[in-house]
Amino acid sequence: MVAYNPLPRPEAFMAIAALFAKRSKDPVTQVGAVLVDKDEYVAATGYNGFPAKLSDDHFSWLKTGEHRHDKKYPYVKHAELNVLANVTRTYDGGTLYVTVMPCHDCAREIVQLQQKIRCVKFISVYENGKDSNVTANDMFNSAGIPITTLEARVKNVSVDFDLLDVESREIAPRVSLTGKRLDYLPWEETFMGAAMIMAQCSKNPVYQQGAVLVGPKNKTLGFGYNGIPKRISAKLKAENKTFDWSNAKLREEYEIKGANNCMLNSSRVPNSTLYTTHFPDIAATHKLLETDVKKVIFGHAPDKNSSDIIAAKRMMDHAEIKYQQFRAATNKIDIDLATRDVTFPGLRFKSE
């Protein structure tokens, strides 16, 4: 029994892709991507931008210029290629969620991969890229990779930082001489926002916790939300049974909290940071002590008088794991998952 409607995972992955698109400095086009493996664990995230070793303030972000090398086109790397560069786990047989249909350049690299992407899902197309889209579609069909629009059951996803009841913070004024988009989303809001989206996937009608583990250079290492162990969930599904989420005793006995699930689902990388909607409980703190996490950014303020919270803080202090509460630079982010008009001559999608 589930007392409310949790966010389906495909919608959550596309919403996270759309959230990462807001990181792009491109003033005209912002694209985000999420790559998940066959078990629906996130393998990587990305957005369109300059390659990692190039400064966002050195080359032009503009479409205009006397020569091609004066424009943005030689320098901007598409979200699909960035997500492949950011992979932290195997993804063979997985799915690529991207906010805009891949162009022919990205399609060519995707079909060449040693680890095969099972399918590609998107919600819009480039307005001026019809020829490229047709070519990309032909490549995917020829390679046997289905490419489809995400027909979202949930059309709108909100990230409301006010629900965390945290203090606000101000961002230093941004200046650009290269045409860079200045209202891009800060990293902190991107990661905590992704944790809040994952929390919406939880089937727990009383308590939803989400978490994201982030490594050096802001690479995402893993995602998680509170739920029962995946093998138990799969067994119940195979037997056409459901978990009784209304039973508080069962929830307490079976449930793994989001922060702990996140770390169990993540690659182990030194000096990583855990973003979590709630302060880690004892089990998650024990897991923290076994990993290379050096910092915890949490949302909801914990109960200062709780013995478990006091014990968790003591353990983190002893292990020199820093922890601090998230402070929001914006109040709310609304994400539209409705499929845009993607029909035009020559574009024929192959269903899964």
Write b or e for each residue in 251-273: b if 16 or more Cβ atoms lie within 10 A of its Cβ, otherwise e: beebbbbbbbbbbebbeebeebb
Task: Spell out the alpha helix ranges (H) of 114-184.
Answer: 130-143
Of 94, 111, 82, which Cα lies nearest the Cα of 219? 82
Cα distance between residue 246 and residue 244, in whole Å = 5
Task: Spell out the alpha helix ranges (H) of the chain.
Answer: 9-21, 79-85, 104-112, 130-143, 187-199, 230-238, 248-254, 258-264, 282-290, 307-318
Of 211, 201, 228, which Cα lies nearest the Cα of 293? 211
User: Which entry of 11, 80, 189, 255 is annotated as an active-site residue?
Assistant: 80
Sheet with 117-122: strands ordered across: 42-47, 32-36, 94-98, 117-122, 147-149
Cα distance between residue 21 and residue 16, in whole Å = 9
Phi then psi dihedrals of residue 211, to 5 deg? -155, 150
Phi then psi dihedrals of residue 120, to 5 deg? -125, 130
Cα distance between residue 211 and residue 82, in whole Å = 22
Joined tokens for residue 89:
């786990």
Cα distance between residue 32 and residue 14, in whole Å = 9
Quick one: how far is CA 132 from the chain centroid? Answer: 26
80 tagged catalytic: yes
Q: Residue 32 in contact with residue 23, Cβ under 8 Å?
A: yes
The catalytic residues are: 80
